[in-house]
Amino acid sequence: MIRFSCFGRLFSARFKSAARVARFASHALAAVSLVVLATSGMPARAAAGDAPLDVSIVYLGNPGDAGWTHAHDLGIGAAEKQFGSQVKVTRVENVPENADAARVFRDRAAKGDKVVIGTSFGYMDSMMRVARDYPDTVFLHCSGYKSAPNLGNFNGKVYESAYLAGVVAGYVSKSHVLGFVGSVPIPEVVRNIDAFALGARSVAPQTVVKVVWVSSWFDPGKERQAAETLVGLGADVLMQNTDSTATMAVAEQQKVYAFGWDSDMSRWGPHAHLGSVAYDWGIYYTKAIDEVRRGTWTNKPVYWGVKEGITDLVNLNTSVVPADAQRALAEKRAALVAGRLDPFAGPLKDQSGKLRVAAGAALSADDTNRINWFVDGVQGSIAQ
């Protein structure tokens, strides 16, 4: 699924080519229930005793991917549990980022859903068009940057969790070579690779991160080949920004270590798993639904990180991760939460040695949303 970090405007041109990389080809339509998000000029708030709020959530893939879609499904499930009979959720799976998406969003709004959630960047323009035609429906878009009075954006600062994973990898790796299975070369993924490398090199400066691209968000075969290539290049810890569990499976088979991505992937590598960079979308979905029901929802962008709990390094394998690494991880995490640590604070050099961020400065959110360079220590190129 094509996912870019929130609010990055300058990578939209690159997305036009990356968006053609569809994660799933099937076109399955399921009913998705939508929660009414209300604000001034928006649909009226739901009163106690009203019929359940109809919420629909649209997926590029299916929850069985164990990654991105699975994480969103867990999140909306948490909201269902929180609100019980007050909310009715319908899921629409395997919706590609093309004209089919607009048809699905329009169909859900026409059926009376009061909140429609789109979970992939490539849905952005379709959601904008449909939102104009259904002003009484609230649209929530994950990872986009375009907005309307009834369309808001949300995303998570997953690069913070990638940084924490890098800290752990820096302690665990014996070869000081880390491998990264990259999905598509867009700013969000580049940023995550950079953050992973920065975390590792903050505790082991000699560390290098080798990158192999698979040009897809979900392609288990290519992911497996990439992971095997990285192990062959000397990597003894693997990271991924893809959705399948293939990388974890390779690590388990090759007797190296790996991190899961998007959700807890420990069961696919009980010996290899160091931790998983995961999302907890339930925090956002529950809050948004509650605001809609109370009539306080606005379209203000939401961009949360470790501090808010929407992303974190979860299920740390304490039987493998040494005590000093666990202490360093706790310290770094506390610094992130307190605002004392910014992974992209200078001085930062790129892989050519050019100073990109001076000491005392830091990349802004907008800078990281358009980043197209690797930090020092990353080995690989970014396809243009």
Both tokens of 64, joined, read 């069985």
Measured over the CA atoms of residue 93, residue 117, residue 14 and residue 260, the dihedral's sign is negative
Region of 255 please: left (phi>0), alpha (psi -120 to 50) or beta: left
Say what the pLDDT of residue 26 is.
Answer: 34
29-33, 74-78, 366-370: range with lowest mean pLDDT: 29-33
15-24, 245-254, 286-295, 328-337: range with lowest mean pLDDT: 15-24
Both tokens of 202, joined, read 């903050």
Say what the pLDDT of residue 66 is.
Answer: 85
- Give counts: helices (H), strands (E), the chain: 11, 15
CB atoms within 10 A of CB 294: 11
44-53, 146-155, 265-274: range with lowest mean pLDDT: 44-53
Say what the pLDDT of residue 45 is.
Answer: 53
Q: 97 and 122 in contact (C-beta within 8 Å)?
A: yes
Inter-CA distances, 11 with 6, 331, 370, Å: 11, 34, 6
User: Residue range 332-352: average pLDDT?
Assistant: 98
Say what the pLDDT of residue 293 is.
Answer: 85
Say what the pLDDT of residue 350 is.
Answer: 98
The 8-class DSSP code of residue 345 comes to B
Say what the pLDDT of residue 20 is.
Answer: 33
Both tokens of 99, joined, read 């004209």
Q: 335 and 154 in contact (C-beta within 8 Å)?
A: no
Inter-CA distances, 50 with 110, 138, 294, 300, Å: 20, 18, 13, 26
On whether the pTM is more than 0.75, the answer is yes
Q: 231 and 256 in contact (C-beta within 8 Å)?
A: yes
Residue 248's nearest CA partner among 317, 171, 305, 189 is: 317
Tell me how far apart the alpha carbons of residues 208 and 197 are, in angstroms, rounded to a whole number: 7
Report residue 137: phi and psi, to 5°.
-110, 140
User: Residue range 242-260: average pLDDT?
Assistant: 98
Select the more confidently predicted residue: 41 or 74.
74
User: Residue range 374-382: average pLDDT?
Assistant: 98
Q: 242 and 220 in contact (C-beta within 8 Å)?
A: no
134 confidence band (pLDDT: 50, 70, 90) = very high
Structural domains for the chain:
12-157+283-304 (3.40.50.2300), 158-280+310-379 (3.40.50.2300)
Say what the pLDDT of residue 279 is.
Answer: 98
Say what the pLDDT of residue 29 is.
Answer: 33
Select the more confidently predicted residue: 257 or 49.
257
Q: Percentage of the chain with pLDDT > 70?
A: 87
User: Residue range 108-112: average pLDDT?
Assistant: 97
Say what the pLDDT of residue 27 is.
Answer: 34
64-68, 93-97, 137-141, 181-185: range with lowest mean pLDDT: 64-68
How many angstroms separate the first and last alpha carbons of the chain? Answer: 19
Say what the pLDDT of residue 369 is.
Answer: 85
The 8-class DSSP code of residue 138 comes to E
Residue 210's nearest CA partner among 248, 169, 243, 171 is: 169
User: Residue range 171-200: average pLDDT?
Assistant: 97
User: What integer best gives the mean pLDDT of the chain?
Assistant: 89
Q: b/e for 65-86, b at 16 or more Cβ within 10 A?
A: bbbbbbbbbbbbbbbbeebeeb
The 8-class DSSP code of residue 362 comes to B
Say what the pLDDT of residue 49 is.
Answer: 53
Q: 281 and 296 in contact (C-beta within 8 Å)?
A: no
Say what the pLDDT of residue 34 is.
Answer: 33
pLDDT, tens digit, for every residue of 298-337? 999 999 999 999 999 999 999 999 999 999 999 999 999 9
